[in-house]
Chains A and B, each alone.
Chain A
Amino acid sequence: MEFNEYFILGCSAIGAGLAVIAGIGPGVGQGIAAGHAAAAVGRNPGAKSAVTSTMLLGQAVAETTGLYGLLIAILLLFVKPLLP
């Protein structure tokens, strides 16, 4: 069966959309981390700067999985690896 270029581009766009769903996980995770950091600052306001830097570090690491999804979406849309 032959597929033309536009069919492949359309499917790539759908795939890019699906890949960006990976953003749900980091969103939830970062929210949880920020919530716990807020609770920690509430309990111990003196440790605010240490808590903040730890939170940002953890959030940035957790963000990586979402960024992988974004990267795949960008590859599908701009590099178009599926075109023959």
Chain B
Amino acid sequence: MAHGILLSGSTDVDVMVHGLVSYQFFGHTVWITTTHVSLLLVLLILCGFAIAAGRAVKKGTEVPGGFQNVVELIVEKLDGMANSTMGNHASKFYNYIGTVFIFILFSNISGLLGLRPPTADYGVTFPLGVLTFILIHFNQFKHQKLKDIWADMCSPLPPWLPIWFPINVISEVAVPISLSLRLFANVLSGTIMMALIYGLLGIIATAWPAALHVYFDLFSGAIQTYVFCMLTMTYINNAIGEEA
């Protein structure tokens, strides 16, 4: 569009997702977008790191040194974060929380590598929210009795008067949406702001935007990763309930 409202001064401000290759999928035209490419690159980096970490641990020594030390530190920190929130339920969720944490963190800071962060696409963050939603309710049905869940869903009123039931259903459905939208909007706003600075200021945007990168990519990305994992753990912990 020639008359961009916001970006009238420049033509090279680019924050949108672009389609690269289109193909037919059961009669629909589907696109391979820039999100897929950056997601693939992030996954390749993570896979390489994971393979290297696995090798380092497999021939690990009693006293860790070098790379093994780093890997053990990361795993210890992630497990400690899960332990501090979930208590004795934590050990079942180390895998999920650690994986999600590392994935979101690398996705958020991949803006530093010149990629468009994969988490700045709602198609990436919404599945993460849905995964959390499924985990919450799977654990709720696994650990609580059906009667207690029903009483919980009618909560301010007694269980035989389910007037509040629809409202509670809406608030349950809002959980994955707000989780994913929070992550998406934070990363997207950082991406847009960096693109505006580079596109509108042009040649005077040298060196000093590095400070903004530290804020928008590193700080904001790390905080949002932490928040996503903390909220996931808190919701799952609530779903499990007090018993067991």
Contacts and interface: CB of A to CB of B under 8 A. Distances in A.
Interface of A: 9, 12-13, 53, 56-57, 60-61, 63-64, 67-68, 70-71, 74, 77-78
B188 A64 contact: no
B182 interface: yes
Interface stretch (B19-27, B57-65, B152-160, B222-230): B222-230
A77 B186 contact: no
Contact of A57 (B5, B185, B192, B230): B230
B6 interface: yes
Contacts of A12: 5
Contacts of B3: 9
Contact of B185 (A13, A56, A71): A71
Interface in B204-237: 223-224, 226-227, 230-231
Given A60-B182, A67-B182, A77 B227 contact: no
A2 to B, nearest CB: 20
B189 interface: yes
A61 B5 contact: no
A68 B223 contact: no
A56 B227 contact: yes
A60 B192 contact: no
Contacts of A64: 178, 181-182
Contact of B231 (A56, A61, A63, A71): A61
Contacts of B192: 74
Contact of B5 (A53, A60, A71, A77): A77
For the complex, would chain B's binding face be called helix, strand, loop or mixed by DSSP majority?
helix
B interface residue count range (under 10 / 10 to 19 / 20 to 34 / 35 or more): 10 to 19
Given A13-B5, A77-B5, A71 B181 contact: yes
Contacts of B182: 60-61, 63-64, 67
Given A9-B5, A77-B5, A77-B6, A67 B227 contact: no
Contacts of A9: 3, 5
7 contacts: A13-B5, A13-B6, A56-B226, A60-B224, A61-B231, A63-B186, A64-B182
Interface centre among A12, A13, A71 (most CB of B within 10 A): A71
A35 B17 CA distance: 39
Nearest to A71: B185
A64 B188 CA distance: 13
A71 B177 CA distance: 13
Given A60-B224, A60-B227, A67 B16 contact: no
B6 A68 contact: no
